[in-house]
Amino acid sequence: MPEPIYPTSDLRIRLEVLDRLRHAPGLDASDISVTSDHGEVRLSGVVWSEADCRQAQEVAAAVLGVKRVRNGLLVQAKSGSVGTGLLAP
């Protein structure tokens, strides 16, 4: 991804990542937190599947100004499904 002419502020990056996560098709981002420091985005919180975990990372990485994504999301099976508990991504 090309670097922007002017650096994108961390606040703008954080808000853009949150907005894109909120509007990503099929992704429940209600339990995802986002921080940004010098273009390095950190995702934390809980998602419901490995696919959601990967999708959240891809969405964040596609935002202009993001240099790196640290994915700290935990995958938790929905209650009533087979296998419960938290798994590291």
User: The whole model's pTM is what?
Assistant: 0.81
Q: Closest by alpha carbon to 20, among 6, 41, 4, 50? A: 41
> Has residue 70 been placed in a domain?
yes
Q: Are 56 and 27 in contact (CB under 8 A)?
A: yes
**Total of domains in the chain:** 1
Segment 57-77 shows an average pLDDT of: 96
Domain annotation covers residue 21? yes
Residue 63 covered by a domain: yes
pLDDT class for 28, splitting at 50, 70, 90?
very high
56 C-beta neighbours (distance < 10 Å), count: 26
Using a pLDDT cut of 90, give the percent of the chain over it. Answer: 76
Q: Find out whether 67 and 38 touch, Cβ atoms under 8 Å.
A: yes
Angle between helices 10-23 and 50-61 (to 10 degrees): 140
pLDDT band at 77 (very low <50, low <70, confident <90, very high): confident
Q: Which band of pLDDT confidence, cut at 50, 70 and 90, is reported for residue 6?
A: confident
Establish if 44 belongs to a structural domain: yes
**Which domain, by its residues, includes 17?**
10-77
Q: What pLDDT is attached to residue 85?
A: 52
pLDDT average, residue stretch 15-41? 97
